[in-house]
Structure 1
């Protein structure tokens, strides 16, 4: 642990040679057509599509740290086009056909991200691949069968979602005790910090001003107030996702849940052969306390999962530094699934936050009366979903009616989270029950899903 780098935002920046320098701060009061708060994927994609639609728009992005400081530069690098929210919840704001179309458009974001990267010369180490969700117990395999059946019921193409048995799953990656896997096709692995930094440079080339080290003190109709001046704008987009709670008046909109990642030293070629992991798939498992992993461009293993899930009062980390106990838990997951890796040293660990709405479902929208738009609540699917957010917000800002603006996530606003200490108790209770559910399943031979997991979901309305 002592030799491992902990924090400094993420390994992805170390991979790029270190943290970037800061862009200039706001020079004082400015007046623009559109002001975007937050220079992560959501804000940058919104600016990109606004400029594509109307190159003459004046756009200012204000960012508290630097472009890509948040989840956009810290995530697991899955550009999945995935849909892991509760489909039925979207029926309250749309139709079954609308939910199916929403999912179809999300799948298209993988090709769209790749298209833009090629057009703009962004080298984000993108590699098309599959996502494998492994089952290591009969109960986990049952859950995968139920998930795949639900996919089929909602008209997900079979090429996108299909099950494989133990032998075929082990032939993809030699996971210990594998029972089978759910294969999700049409995904991509990315180096997330390279993607967000390349996107920031692309929008700057199109004339978007990015101001960094700016603390936003308020957002109201036509005005974004900061510690360095006021931005006046016809339209404003709040693109702060996991940091939304820090903007006055938004403390209970979305809460910041923590996720952490460790990265190994470079893996020898002989070990890759032993692992059978030659297709560069991204993978996770069907445990309740799930994990996610990728094989990086420089042949390391990045393994992520939950650490301390939520800090009291919606506090966030300091520059990505994570807890020693979290690192140990992630090591346990890595060694449990891939015991061949026990000899590998860990080179880096970090954490970040993702924004979670009260109904655990992503949303994008714009209030016509105030002119303020928003998007987020991706709950771990931000790399691809933020691209659709950017396209959708651009349409809404420009008052366009398109196939995107009628989707059931548009203008969906769930109720607020509870005050403390109730939300801390609820979230920690949920994850405690998930951990206990996994332990009980293991103790009982993994034959049946523990009812504790169902109770955990009910506690927080997942």
Structure 2
């Protein structure tokens, strides 16, 4: 096996590509002491920042605080692949059994609209995030993936994707992108690429302009629910921050808030980025128009052509699981090697271009893979997360939904089925089953790539464990 080609300045220290040139931002001031607000948001990632933004746009008189242990965009928001997609993790059928199929279709349509909503705010607020809406290509590179892709398109067209929203690609009818060995492809226009770190930084500045207090370098050690006449609070070494509503928007770091430790696992999404590709390589590959890429594997990869001409490719199926203390975000060597093998297989013309950067970030993954959002008016606690690596558009939808929940607006967004998700812990056996299924899916991908022409039976076992289609 060939070694991963690396540039002399290859980095794998945990900082994402998006901070490579500009460097880490200067931290804002920490919380100076105990305080009172109308809304206190724990976590300055996309969920927390979007919630603050929409709350203050709706009611500028609100007193809003955002508490962040590191800096805005430090976690998954500033470490992701920069893909804005309408992917919904979790079982549509399970939501439909509880709330009706129409409700799940409405949720999917709202998620599609979130892609344009994000781009609209980026334009309105003058955020230079390199955002380009080019849609997403989903590629199949072996017979098993091809069969599944056809089934997936047919299935999703029953769940809110109309033919114009997702369809199989006829050669030459979509933006050209040459993936080696591609047997089939699908396309959806509901996707964009951007620099997620710059989006997070721009949102933090926007919420400050609107009047929010953003405190960085401020660790939250726990959240306390309302107790009688005592308001809920976020607990910090500098003192309590009391508010009418305390919103936990900590995603992959949720397990570090003691009382919520068993609720979600923190799973790593590993990423690599090449040096800028020579123009002749891009002429061979194509990939114009800001289109992003995913594949039809059980543990899919995703990629974008960055604004400076690199391929940034990552995977939620990378063989690395993060615990509560894994905040540094360095990608393990086996994850780098696996992602590079995928890149070289898809784009042989780019196989000799060195890997310039590698990193990882934690995503919140509930055992049932269902994202959660809600507000308990009795305790004054609100929450959102569990995006399983598909969080850019979901976080925007969560921010707008939390606005309506906090303000008591029984809007269409507040009635969407995921807005009823309980903030409860998963059974340990169910979480163990999720780990087993994770390994089975990766094993199935290896078998299908090497020798199988049909979906591996390992994937069928994993699907039975997780209850997914």
TM-score of the alignment, normalized to the shorter chain, above 0.5:
yes
**Is the contact between residue 427 and residue 460 of structure 1 (CA under 8 Å) also seen in structure 2?**
yes
Cα deviation for residue 8 of structure 1 reads 4.1
1:32-431 correspondence runs (5 A): 32-165=37-170, 167-168=171-172, 172-221=176-225, 222-305=232-315, 306-311=317-322, 314-413=323-422, 416-419=425-428, 425-431=432-438
Q: Which moved more, 1:79-88 or 1:235-244?
A: 79-88
Q: Size of the alignment, in residue pairs? A: 455
Question: Cα deviation per residue 1:114-139 (whole Å; 9 max; x = unaligned)?
Answer: 11111111111000102111001121
Mapped to 2, the partners of 1:354 and 1:169 lie a distance apart of 35
Say which SS state the counterpart of residue 308 (structure 1) adopts: coil
Say which SS state the counterpart of residue 128 (structure 1) adopts: coil
TM-score (norm 1): 0.94
Cα deviation for residue 456 of structure 1 reads 1.6
**Is the contact between residue 310 and residue 427 of structure 1 (CA under 8 Å) also seen in structure 2?**
no
**Is the contact between residue 367 and residue 431 of structure 2 (CA under 8 Å) also seen in structure 1?**
no
Match of 2:12 among 6, 10, 13: 6
**Is the contact between residue 320 and residue 332 of structure 2 (CA under 8 Å) also seen in structure 1?**
no
Say which SS state the counterpart of residue 24 (structure 1) adopts: coil
Whether 1:455 aligns to 2:461 is yes
Cα deviation for residue 53 of structure 1 reads 0.8
Question: Cα deviation per residue 1:274-314 (whole Å; 9 max; x = unaligned)?
Answer: 11222331101112231110000111110101323424xx3
TM-score (norm 2): 0.93
Question: Cα deviation per residue 1:249-278 (whole Å; 9 max; x = unaligned)?
Answer: 111111111111001001111110011222
Structure 2: runs of 5 or more not aligned: 1-5, 226-231
Mapped to 2, the partners of 1:316 and 1:106 lie a distance apart of 32
Structure 1: runs of 5 or more not aligned: none
**Is the contact between residue 309 and residue 431 of structure 1 (CA under 8 Å) also seen in structure 2?**
no
Say which SS state the counterpart of residue 19 (structure 2) adopts: helix
Mapped to 2, the partners of 1:323 and 1:155 lie a distance apart of 38
Cα deviation for residue 152 of structure 1 reads 1.5
Say which SS state the counterpart of residue 190 (structure 2) adopts: strand
Question: Cα deviation per residue 1:230-260 (whole Å; 9 max; x = unaligned)?
Answer: 1010111110011111101111111111111
Say which SS state the counterpart of residue 410 (structure 1) adopts: helix
Cα deviation for residue 330 of structure 1 reads 0.9
Say which SS state the counterpart of residue 453 (structure 1) adopts: helix
Q: Which moved more, 1:450-459 or 1:183-192?
A: 450-459
Mapped to 1, the partners of 2:318 and 2:159 lie a distance apart of 32
Cα deviation for residue 414 of structure 1 reads 7.2
Relative to structure 1, is the Cα distance of residues 415 and 33 closer, same or farther in structure 2, using a 3 angstrom cutoff? Answer: closer
**Is the contact between residue 14 and residue 360 of structure 2 (CA under 8 Å) also seen in structure 1?**
no
Mapped to 1, the partners of 2:416 and 2:9 lie a distance apart of 49
